[in-house]
Structure 1
Amino acid sequence: MRLSQFILIILLPFFAVCQGKKSEIIISGTITGKIPETIEYTLPINGIDYFGFTNSAQTDAAGNFQIKISSDKTCFIDLLTNFHSYGVIIAEPGMTYKVAINTEAKEGKFKVESKNREGQALYNQIPNRNMIVGGHFEIETKTLMKDSVVSQIKQKLEQKKETEIAEFQKLLKDKNISKNFYNLVQSDRNYFYKGAQGSLAFINFLLSAQNKNTLSPEQYKELWKEIFQSNPVNSPDLLTSPWFYYYTENYLRYQELIIEGTTSTAISEYHKQGLIHTHNINNAKKHLAGLQLEYYYAAYLYYESINKNYEKELITLFEQFKKEYPNSSYTHFLEPVIIPIIAFHKKKEEPLNEKIKFIDKTDSANLVKDVMKDLNGKQYYVDIWATWCGPCKEEFKHNTKLYELLKSKGITMVYISIDKENRDKQWKEMAQFYNLEGYHIRANEKLDADLRTLYGNQSMGIPWHFLTDENGAIIKKRLSGPSEIENLEKQLNEANP
């Protein structure tokens, strides 16, 4: 259930965390290449951070910017724009950093001048340093999925960690990085690889339901239990780790699924009742306290809200969070992601746009050709999407120009959702919220299979756009989405010379 969300959301951004009297950190930088209007940076709050809790600095015409942050601890500060990370600074209180960012260079895109310059460069070369560059626990476990010997799994993870840390140890020995710099990197790498070990255990737990697990229950329980003994969730070191949220989430899963023995049937029931997020927060309240709980609660709400599934339950939990933490520094970061959910539910009360037409033949439309029957169009621009697909929903922002283009060429708009039956209500609500004008159908199992065959890969990537004739035969298999309207127009012209 949650594993798929982890994979889908690989495009999600890295968060930063800090490691005493508060002192100012100054970052002066220059961006060359394509210069964004602003540059975002993660903020240390209560000694811990999250990728969604950011501030921004204005860039001038020459790409110059300056950032000032007060912190009493050495910390990670990630510089990014629209969830695209340029690089990470390991910043110490009272220090000044000069940063050069080249948005168009193939290599050397991010350079930091400071007394820890060599360490900064080395850390930014680590391939799994953050989620944006492919550094999630689940990614790290891919090479271990077929391993069946617990001691070998632990040895491989420990060896990778030690190999990475060894280079920083040499820099420390040569006095090219500070002790605080080294300590933060060491903590970061330690919790990352322990998190990967816990993730591997969780994946095997999920696979055991289909008897596809490589590790036995005894083995994955041993792997899972061990990390929380050697690296407990309440350790001060974890509060300095950028993996706090995900490591803690893995711990809460362990408590619920292994220690308490909560069944998948019970969890499915929470989903059906629209109370899964309330359940997860209540579970966190049983095992966390103080700043850890406040941070996890806020980070959870942010993470689930940016998935844009628009669950009304999140509004209730946000109001509850404000009552429980009336002076929380996290509240103003949560408000912007909760407001769209409120708007979504207000939109549901409005009359349905008559140009949004749901096709009532989900059971009989088993092929793409079946969908086009009786629609009376000459050509169809087909958008394959799902309510859980973030990139799909990003494309909808550009639909006004899309509809104008299709109308000028006499092409009919068709949306095919690959959502399962249990998301039927949410599918229709999202079509209304995003004002998706055109014909809509939710694919049954046979139509879903037909789409994957046409795509040419069972791991079908969405959004996927293609053009068919009046009979549903594909004319052009890959088309741009509405966000690339000029290229799409060119493609349509080529298809209709």
Structure 2
Amino acid sequence: MKQTLPILIVLLQGLTGCQEEKNETTIQGKITGNIPDIMEYTIPVDGINYFGFEDAVPVNSSGHFQIKVNTDQLCFIELSHGYEFYGTVVAEPGANYTVSVNTEHTDNPIEIEGKDKKGQELYNQLHNRSMLKGHFEEEAGKYRKDTVATRIEQSIRKSEEAEIAPFRELFENKEISQDFYQLVKTDREYFYKGVQGSVGFVNFLFSERQQNALSKDAYTKLWGAVFQSHPVSDLRLLKSPWFYHYAELYLRYNDLIKESTSTETLSELHKQGAIHTHNIENAKKYLSGKQLEYYIAAYLYYQAINKNYEKELISLFDKFKEEYPHSEYSHFIEPEIIPVIGFHKKKNDPLDKNIKFLEGTDNINSLKDAAKELKGKKIYIDVWATWCGPCKKEFKHSAELYEALTSRDVTILYISLDKDEKAEQWKDMVNYYNLKGYHIRANEKLWASLRDLRGSDTFSIPWYILADEDGQVLRKYAGSPSDLEKLKKQLEEN
């Protein structure tokens, strides 16, 4: 879901005014292996780090780049390109760092020379150091079947202590600064408190299907306890990359547990196109000041990059700009709201004549049934859903895909896995992306047929299939639109 933002190198310059004077931190870098054209990096706004609030600098042909950031406090700066995360610099105001990134070393590609070198190395070895590597749920999954809350809490505390202890040793040996140690210590404390809260939240979700391992009383206490010992109001938390998700857990606790908002109510708000308004109003009840401004900004950005194009986001962003007219976050959100505006303008345009929605879909229960409707041609099948970010990313290649397939007398069938409540959005999205070909929204029997076809393999989308004129599968896993050469080769072989 992460997207490359425009290069806005001077974004924070000229904003000193009555603020404290900021110091320029410099990162000299060299990247080897697969060299990207740009290096993206998070911009710490008042020391706050979030994966979506970022800038980029060019990388030259030999892999060199230079980053300059103005900051008045120690902060995290994460380096990445697209979906690929390289590592984190714990940056001190006015300091200089030399960074080496080897994209072929996927486990830990970054080396950092400069202030607090040993601490930098240690921090970048942590498994869950970045939002791009997964949320609290990844770590919380270890406790999915544990039935004893006190044992869960003790185990999480041991994991936390095991991560902090080496940093404490470096600090005691004067190999890292006190500020470095305190920042990393706070980051890891709040990460593991987030894990504990997430265990409670996951049990709440499973309780809807009576599959929770902990009792309601146990998971409620486990979840709520984290905010008593480590409150969201603690300004130190803002500096952690985990603040957004920690605050989200806190707001969910208040909404679902304290206020007893039912999942049926939330589902109805989704259908009415009012869920984001509800969530932001809930945030305004429990957050204030910098935390509230940051949370709303991060929330709007996070929802916009999902490319679900909810119209509600447009008015909410307008309201954000009214309430925070000088917010530095608006620069990052606006590029993601513009496509939402474009979507709602485009959806009223007439459909392209080559976009066809199949009728009588209640009786299309298999690929063989679908093939009967497609004029006896070989079929390229794209299994997708409106909520699937990677699916929509592939649509930018749809024009080339359509040309390549139709020139070979192959027809395209898009099978959506969206539920009934998404039917209108599904059709609007087909129009917006101009997906020429045939379209169907899978009923339960077709869904089951696709799951059977997948067999023991993990079911994930996007999924591309080649089938013959009768719906018999030729290629269970065909090339994607972004890998058109592979697909062309498969077509030739079949």
Q: Determine the structure 1 residue equivalent to 2:208.
A: 209
C-alpha distance in structure 2 between counterparts of 1:321 and 1:457, whole Å: 47
State how 1:441-452 maps to structure 2 within 5 Å. 441-452=440-451
Task: Determine if contact 2:383/2:463 at 8 Å carries over to the other structure.
Answer: yes
Cα deviation 1:459-487 (Å, max 9, x = unaligned): 41111001111111101111111101111
1:245 and 2:244 aligned: yes
Give the aligned partner of residue 419 of structure 2: 420
- Determine the C-alpha separation between the residues in 1 that align with 2:377 and 2:227: 61
Change (3 A) 1:456 1:12: farther
In 2, the alpha carbon distance for the partners of 1:84 and 1:224 equals 32
Q: CA deviation at 1:83?
A: 3.1
CA distance in 2, matches of 1:333, 1:161: 33
The alpha-carbon distance between structure 1 residues 422 and 346, as it changes in their structure 2 partners (threshold 3 A), is same
Amino acid aligned to 1:61 = S
1:61 positional shift: 2.2
The aligned residue for residue 177 of structure 1 is 176
Counterpart of 1:372 in structure 2 is 371
Amino acid at match of 2:437: G
Q: Is the 8 A contact 1:24 1:94 kept in 2?
A: yes
Contact 2:118 2:175 in 1 (8 A): yes
Aligned to 1:284: 283
Structure 2-normalised TM-score? Answer: 0.94
Residue 466 of structure 2 corresponds to which residue in structure 1?
A: 467
Q: CA deviation at 1:377?
A: 2.9
Structure 1 residue 198 corresponds to structure 2 residue 197: yes
CA distance in 2 between counterparts of 1:133 and 1:303 reads 16
* Structure 1 residues 55 and 12, CA gap change in structure 2 (3 angstroms): closer
Counterpart amino acid of 2:103? T
Describe how 1:214-225 pairs up with structure 2 within 5 A: 214-225=213-224
What is residue 234 of structure 2 aligned with on the other side?
Answer: 235
**Deviations along 1:80-136, whole A, 9 cap, x unmatched?**
1113211100111121000011223456521100131111111111111113234x1
What is the DSSP-based 3-state SS (H/G/I as helix, E as strand, rest coil) of the residue aligned with 1:351? coil
Aligned to 2:312: 313
Q: Which amino acid aligns with 2:370?
A: V
Q: Within 5 A, what are the aligned runs for 1:64-463?
A: 64-105=64-105, 109-134=109-134, 136-457=135-456, 459-463=458-462
In 1, the alpha carbon distance for the partners of 2:386 and 2:108 equals 38
Equivalent residue number for residue 12 of structure 2:
none
How many residues get paired? Answer: 479
Q: What is the CA-CA distance between 1:164 and the residue it aligns to?
A: 0.8
Please list the CA deviations of residues 230-272 of structure 1 after superposition, one character each: whole Å capped at 9, or x if unmatched.
0001012212221110000100011111111111121122112
TM-score (norm 1): 0.94
Partner of 2:452: helix, strand, or coil?
helix
| Residue type at the aligned position of 2:400 | K
Is the CA contact 1:12–1:131 (under 8 Å) kept in the aligned structure 2?
A: no
The one-letter code of the counterpart of 2:127 is P
Asked if the contact 2:49–2:240 (Cα under 8 Å) also holds between the matched residues in 1, the reply is no
**Match in the other structure for 1:482:** 481
SS at match of 2:361: coil
Counterpart contact for 2:3–2:305, Cα < 8 Å: no
Q: CA deviation at 1:362?
A: 2.0
The amino acid across from 1:338 in the alignment is I
The amino acid that maps onto 2:49 is: D
Secondary structure at the counterpart of residue 381 of structure 1: strand
Residue in 2 aligned with 1:38?
A: 38
Contact preservation (8 Å) 2:51, 2:241 = no
* Matches of 1:407 and 1:301, distance apart in 2: 39
Aligned partner letter, 2:119: G
2 CA distance for matches of 1:12 and 1:157? 33
- Report deviation, 1:372: 1.3
SS in 2 for 1:237: helix
Residue 375 of structure 2 aligns to which amino acid in structure 1? N
SS at match of 1:433: helix
Native 8 Å contact 1:25 1:68 kept in 2:
yes
- Say which SS state the counterpart of residue 376 (structure 1) adopts: coil
Deviations 1:341-367 (A, max 9, x none): 111111111111110000012211111
Distance 1:197 1:107, change over 3 A: closer
* In 1, Cα distance between equivalents of 2:123 and 2:105: 19
Q: Secondary structure at the match of 2:342?
A: helix
Q: Is the 8 A contact 2:49 2:75 kept in 1?
A: no
Query: What secondary structure does 1:132 align onto?
Result: helix
Distance 1:374 1:41 in 2: 49
| TM-superposed deviation, 1:33 | 2.0
Whole-angstrom CA distance in 2 between matches of 1:458 and 1:203: 25
Structure-1 separation of matches of 2:28 and 2:484: 37
- Structure 1 residues 438 and 59, CA gap change in structure 2 (3 angstroms): same
Aligned equivalents of 1:339 and 1:235: distance in 2?
34
Tell me how far 1:12 sits from its aligned partner. 9.3
- Distance (Å, rounded) in 2 between the aligned partners of 1:318 and 1:67: 30
Pair 1:34–1:151, CA change in 2 (3 A): same
**Aligned residue identity for 1:177:** I
307 and 108 in structure 1: CA distance in 2 versus 1, 3 angstrom threshold? closer
The whole-number CA distance in structure 2 between the counterparts of 1:222 and 1:287 is 19
Runs of 5+ in structure 1 lacking a partner?
Answer: 1-8, 14-19
Cα distance in 1 between the residues matched to 2:33 and 2:148: 49
Distance in 2 separating the partners of 1:476 and 1:44: 47
Between 33-42 and 270-279, the greater mean CA deviation after superposition: 33-42
Return the alpha-carbon distance in structure 2 between the equivalents of residues 413 and 239 of structure 1.
Answer: 48
Identity score, percent: 53
Q: Deviations over 1:292-347 (max 9, x none)?
A: 11111110000000000000000010111111111110111111100111111111
1:89, 1:228 → 2: CA distance? 28
The whole-number CA distance in structure 2 between the counterparts of 1:120 and 1:383 is 44
Q: Which runs of 5+ in 2 are unaligned?
A: 5-19
